Amino acid sequence: MNPETIIESVEFLKHKGITAPEVGIVLGTGLGQLLNEITIESEVHYNHIPHFPLATVEFHEGKLVYGTLQGKKVVVMQGRFHLYEGYDFTDITYPIRVMHGLGIQKLLISNAAGAINTSYRKGDLMLLDDHINLQGGSPLAFKNVAAFGERFVDMSTPYDTQMRTSLISLATKHDITLHQGVYASVVGPQLETRAEYRFLKIIGADAVGMSTVPEVIVANHLKLPVVAVSVLTDECDPDNLKPVSVTEIIAVASKAEPKMITLFKELIEVL
Ligand code: HPA
């Protein structure tokens, strides 16, 4: 990877009308309804963007959407790239660098995750206040990372305090349960065993999922303020574990999504 490829992707998107986004949004699995709230000006499929990772067959829906939300220009990733699809760390975080190149000042991330904390219920939301990277690698571990910024990025406050505080008060205002906890990222795509859920709980995780952490690391590398919200889709209690399917995870995610939409919309308004 080199900085010129990012510039080429950015220039292409500017020609497609994605000119001046202020906020970037990543929509997680089962979380697409936010797009209905946006006055759309431009849409570009990932596989048309130069240097974007080549989309897999199941991923043909992936696109960048540009438009206005609550009076602000936003660029939205409808669908993200995952390690479990065979991409590497630089692939899955490439779109974050491109959105930054387009000019976003803030990044809002969503994901579907399993609830490790047994006081959380499925359908609840969790605001990430920290994370544990269990994906066995880093999006900053590549040869010419120095051409993009410093290598040894500070991670003492990975999630933006001001946006977190705003989200917490918005949740209170709307009577939405918003837990605050630690997200552990795994590669997947298999879900976890009971022993793994037990381990995740012992090491201090409140939720587990297969994304987000690499994107947050790159946002910190770019000094781009970021917040992330998990929609909890299943309860990972090792002593009372029921089989869970992806269909069910997606169904719970879309049912809970309106709460996340309320929070993201109002956050964007006050940014
Ligand atoms: N584990 C990992 N990823 C997930 C889960 C889970 O239980 N639920 C939704 N994404």
- What would the mean pLDDT of 62-74 be, rounded to a whole number? 96
Asked whether 30 lines ligand 1 (CB < 6 A), one says no
| Averaged pLDDT for residues 49-53 | 93
Domains held by the chain: number: 1
Residue with CA nearest ligand 1 atom 3: 209
Q: What is the pLDDT of residues 224-270, one digit of tens each?
A: 999 999 999 999 999 999 898 889 999 999 899 999 999 999 999 99
The CATH number linked to 79 is 3.40.50.1580
Q: Which protein residue has the closest C-alpha to ligand 1 atom 8? A: 114
CA distances, 246 to each of 29, 34, 92, 225, 252 (Å):
10, 21, 21, 31, 10
Does 28 sit in the ligand 1 pocket, CB within 6 Å? Answer: no
Q: Is the pLDDT of residue 193 over 70?
A: yes
192 lines ligand 1 (CB under 6 A): yes
Instruction: Tell me what pLDDT residue 56 has.
Output: 67
**Any ligand 1 atom below 6 A from CB of 29:** no
133, β-bridge pairs: 185
Residue 63 alpha carbon to ligand 1 centre in Å: 23
Q: Is 210 in the pocket of ligand 1 (CB under 6 A)?
A: yes
Terminal-residue alpha carbon distance, the chain: 32
- Nearest CA, atom 5, ligand 1: 114
Burial of 249 (0-12, 13-18, 19+ CB in 10 A): buried
Q: pLDDT per residue over 4-18, tens digit each? A: 999 999 999 999 999
Candidates 236, 241, 250, 252: which one to mutate for ligand 1, based on the most atoms within 8 Å of Cβ? 236
Q: What is the mean pLDDT of residues 127-151?
A: 94
Tokens 């879309």 identify what position? 254
Task: Report yes or no: 51 and 9 within 8 Å, Cβ to Cβ.
Answer: yes
Q: Is residue 229 a contact partner of residue 167, using CB atoms and an 8 Å limit?
A: yes
Q: What is the pLDDT of residues 194-221, one digit of tens each?
A: 999 999 999 999 999 999 999 999 999 9
Nearest-atom number in ligand 1 for the CA of 236 is 7
Domain of residue 91 covers 3-270
CA distance 121 to 117: 9
Q: What pLDDT does residue 147 have?
A: 87
Specify the pLDDT at position 49. Answer: 95
Q: Using an 8 Å Cβ cutoff, are 138 and 217 in contact?
A: yes
**Rounded to 5 degrees, what are φ and ψ at 148?**
-105, -15
What pLDDT, in 10s, does the model give residues 152-164? 999 999 999 999 9
Backbone angles phi, psi at 215, to 5 degrees: -65, -40
Residue 115 near ligand 1, beta carbon < 6 Å: no
